[in-house]
């Protein structure tokens, strides 16, 4: 069924493959993917169509690529070794891709060298290209950590009880909740990093414990029924970039308002490390700059900086006193930008 959803989307958007190839030029240098067949890390080539994985890291121990393990994980069969055992979410994602006849998977913990600051910053700054260039994003929506397997696969079947009730001789079957309602109950929906992963992806496959959902730019398909839903505009607005660049003041005002709607949504989520506040939002900032021609610095739009300063917090908050590194220097988050404060950020666009 998921394969059919993807094929239908390919037919509805025949230029998508070409667009992805154009975005490949913006992928970070040393961009890597996991080869499902060779079970190791490989350097990405333009002809490689890949799927990106969005999941919850959690607090459990997980295999990560480091300077000392990179060479070992690049050897054929590397992930067959018990010493380099893949997290359950990644192992089941590889199984999922095999079922779709897709060969390459991008996973942040493994495709970024985690203790190489240059590689980390290089990849983080191009998250917009990584997720927008993917053939689809596979979202482990039900997982609570990297050790949560994707269910609904041959090696991890579901145990689902259909809710039914008989009233006056008539049997009624409960309809599955909408995708938006189901996401509100997940840990994935509370995490800061997963916000831009959803927003930047044009095609998303959601894996829950009881069913699959598929979302593209226009609609949502559900495995358990034939009904279709509108894309998650009512819960998570579709990615920006649909408007054309102009010097018109109304256009700038629109993007500033749009931008802070995203900031408001994003700051409702949680980050394990407070100093990730800008990194976990960097892909969306880059997307706005590229599509809207509006530069973002320190979390504020430069074209209308005076308007961008009219933000506040929804409740009493405290300064974000942690530091962040940029181009070899250490910086303190500025007090005049929302990134320098904790809590949910609001913006008064009427001022």
Residue appearing with tokens 């070409």: 18
Between 152-156, 227-231, 314-318, the lowest mean confidence (pLDDT) is in 227-231
Within 10 angstroms of residue 259's Cβ, the number of other Cβ atoms is 23
Q: What angle do CA 337, 128, 222 make, to 5 degrees?
A: 110
- The Cα 218–Cα 175 span in angstroms is 22
Q: What is the pLDDT of residue 69?
A: 96
Task: Tell whether the model's pLDDT for residue 350 goes beyond 80.
Answer: no
Q: Which residues contact 85 (CB under 8 A, 6 or more apart)?
A: 63, 79
Q: Place 219 in a pLDDT band, splitting at 50, 70 and 90.
A: confident
Judged against a pLDDT cut of 70, whether residue 124 lies above it is answered with yes
DSSP 153: B
Tokens of residue 109, six digits: 């913990």
Task: Kindly provide the residue ranges of all beta strands, DSSP E only, lying in the chain, ordered along the sequence.
Answer: 32-35, 40-43, 50-54, 104-106, 136-139, 164-167, 170-173, 204-207, 212-215, 219-222, 228-230, 296-297, 300-301, 311-313, 323-326, 329-332, 345-347
pLDDT in tens, 73-101: 999 999 999 889 999 999 999 999 999 99
Q: For the whole model, what pTM was predicted?
A: 0.87
The tens digit of pLDDT for each residue in 263-275 reads 999 999 999 998 8
Which residue from 127, 110, 133, 131 is spatially nearest to 49, judged by alpha carbons?
Answer: 133
Q: What is the pLDDT of residue 228?
A: 59
Average pLDDT over residues 285-311: 87
DSSP state of 341: B
Unique residue bearing structure tokens 């992928």: 27
* pLDDT value of position 191: 97
Residue 161 has pLDDT above 80, yes or no: no
Q: What is the mean pLDDT of residues 221-226?
A: 77
The residue among 158 and 190 whose pLDDT is bigger is: 190
Residue 14 has pLDDT above 70, yes or no: no
Does residue 247 carry a pLDDT above 70?
A: no
Please state, in angstroms and rounded to a whole number, the distance separating the CA atoms of residues 124 and 296: 15
pLDDT at 253: 82
- Mean pLDDT score across all residues of the chain: 86
pLDDT of res. 15: 52
**pLDDT number for residue 234:** 37
Does residue 346 or residue 244 have the better pLDDT? 346
Whether 233 has a pLDDT exceeding 50, the answer reads: no
Average pLDDT over residues 153-159: 81
């Amino acid at each position: 069924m998921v394969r059919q959803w993807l094929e239908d989307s390919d037919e509805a958007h025949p230029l998508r493959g070409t667009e992805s190839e154009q975005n490949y030029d913006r992928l970070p240098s040393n961009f890597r993917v996991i080869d499902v067949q060779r079970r190791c890390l490989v350097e990405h080539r333009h002809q490689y169509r890949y799927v990106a994985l969005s999941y919850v890291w959690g607090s459990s121990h997980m295999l990560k690529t480091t300077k000392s393990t990179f060479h070992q994980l690049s050897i054929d069969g590397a992930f067959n070794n018990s010493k380099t055992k893949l997290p359950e979410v990644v192992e089941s994602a590889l199984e999922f891709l095999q079922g779709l006849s897709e060969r390459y998977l991008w996973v942040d913990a493994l495709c970024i060298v985690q203790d190489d600051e240059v590689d980390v910053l290089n990849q983080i700054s191009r998250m917009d290209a990584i997720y927008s260039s993917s053939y689809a994003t596979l979202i482990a929506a039900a997982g609570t950590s990297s050790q949560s397997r994707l269910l609904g696969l041959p090696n991890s079947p579901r145990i689902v009880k259909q809710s039914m009730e008989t009233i006056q001789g008539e049997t009624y079957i409960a309809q599955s909740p909408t995708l938006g309602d189901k996401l509100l109950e997940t840990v994935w929906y509370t995490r800061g990093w997963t916000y831009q992963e959803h927003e930047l992806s044009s095609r998303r496959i959601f894996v829950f414990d009881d069913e699959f959902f598929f979302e593209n730019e226009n609609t949502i398909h559900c495995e358990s029924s034939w009904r279709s839903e509108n894309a998650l505009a009512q819960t998570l607005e579709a990615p920006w970039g649909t408007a054309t660049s102009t010097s018109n003041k109304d256009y700038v005002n629109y993007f500033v308002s749009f931008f802070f709607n995203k900031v408001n949504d994003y700051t409702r989520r949680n980050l394990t490390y407070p100093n990730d506040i800008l990194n976990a939002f960097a892909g969306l900032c880059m997307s706005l700059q590229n599509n809207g021609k509006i530069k973002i610095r320190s979390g504020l739009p430069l074209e209308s900086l005076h308007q961008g300063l009219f933000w506040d917090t929804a409740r009493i908050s405290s300064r974000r006193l942690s530091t962040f590194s940029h181009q070899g220097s250490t910086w303190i988050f500025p007090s005049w930008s929302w990134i320098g404060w904790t809590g949910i950020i609001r913006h008064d666009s009427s001022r």
